[in-house]
Homo-oligomer: A and B are copies of this chain.
Amino acid sequence: MKSRKLYNRISVLRKERNISRKELAESIGVNIQTVGYLEREEYNPSLDLAFKINEYFGLPIELIFSPEPLKPLSEEIIELKNKIGGEK
């Protein structure tokens, strides 16, 4: 199926929480290099691994992974604020 490259926010989320790759890798039960590959977006996680990552961070899959390049979280926040402001 020639699968698309997917984008993710793993490294950002990891840094926000001050977690090392080693910690994350052990928590989700994969090799540390696997986390490296994922952060560099050199390959896509399996769906199961994506679920483990979203369980670990407590966030929906769509917030962590996307077929479209991901904006910085800071930008998303501004856009959401504008959207809410505009509705009033």
Using a CB–CB cutoff of 8 Å, the interface residues on chain A facing chain B are 1, 3-4, 6, 29-30, 34, 44-51, 60-62, 65-67
Q: Which of B6, B49, B60 contacts A51 (CB 8 A)?
A: B6
CB distance B48 to A3 under 8 Å?
yes
Q: Closest chain B residue to A2 by CB distance?
A: B29
Determine the chain B residues whose CB is within 8 A of the CB of A3 once the complex forms: 46, 48-49
CB distance B44 to A44 under 8 Å?
no
Cα separation A83 to B5 with both chains bound (whole Å)? 39
Cα separation A44 to B47 with both chains bound (whole Å)? 7
Q: Closest chain B residue to A65 by CB distance?
A: B47
Determine the chain B residues whose CB is within 8 A of the CB of A66 once the complex forms: 51
